[in-house]
Amino acid sequence: MTNIGPGTPALIDLQTPDEDASVQFYSALFGWTIDAQNPSGYRYARTDKGAIIAGIRAAYGEATPAWTLYLAADDIAETAQGATVQGGSILHGPVNVPGQGGVLIVAEPTGAITGFSQPEPGYEFASHTPGTFAWAELLTADGKADDFYSALTGASVTQLGDGEHYDYTIWTPAGQQVPVVGRLRTDAPAGWRVYFAVDPDVGTDKVVEIAAALGASTLTEPNDIPAGRIAILADPTGAEFALLTPTPRK
């Protein structure tokens, strides 16, 4: 489970034009157990102990199918105010969601849609086990996104690469030593790429095969990076996601 301090991932959710197709795909791929729709039309995937893995919701209008990352906040109202001051636009909230806590969705200055969550007592977000959240990176053409998130969450930013030919940063929440998300400068539309952890005994390549049989498309073939073996896919509705078999810790 994730230690949910400010700036730490607190939830991921999928907006999809076909909830039933998405539920069937991710349940088959990762073995998720997914709740029936709640009164607001939202569904949660949960572990057998009740921790939330992800949310699934219907896309608004013609919105592009996509995964969204929610970062934890100590005070959701203050975060909403700060997001506006820093140049973001409020899309939803802040509102209180039973079983989750305060929720806010913003469009940040570079165009990515990001959520913030003030978890209620007892809330648990499952991560870093097979089929759950492993990593996320913000895809954006503008490195100024670092300043927006650092101002709102207090996270420190570390530059990887030369910042020109390869511009990747990692964000580490205040008081922590381990980075939790990254930011990649790219010409792709601004948004989040969410990575799901893969069981090393199964491996990324095998999960890619299973995903393809379930209707997914492979965008980037399995390959090795320092963090592990990854692949980038699109689910049957077109939402992009990634897989990560972590490199064993020495």
Q: Is the pTM of this model over 0.85?
A: yes
Burial class of residue 130 (count of CB atoms within 10 Å of its CB; 0-12, 13-18, 19+)? middle
| Lowest-confidence pick of 123-127, 172-176, 213-217 | 172-176
Q: Say what the pLDDT of residue 93 is.
A: 82
32-79 pLDDT, tens digit per residue, is 999 987 767 789 999 999 999 999 999 887 889 999 999 999 999 999
Residue 130, preceding peptide bond in cis (omega within 30° of 0): no
- Lowest mean pLDDT of 3-7, 16-20, 94-98, 113-117, name the range: 3-7
The phi, psi pair for 52, rounded to 5°, reads -80, 130
Mean pLDDT of 159-168: 85
Q: Rounded to whole angstroms, what are the CA distances from 72 to 117, 120, 121, 154?
A: 5, 11, 13, 11
Q: Nearest 5°: phi and psi at 178?
A: -110, 125
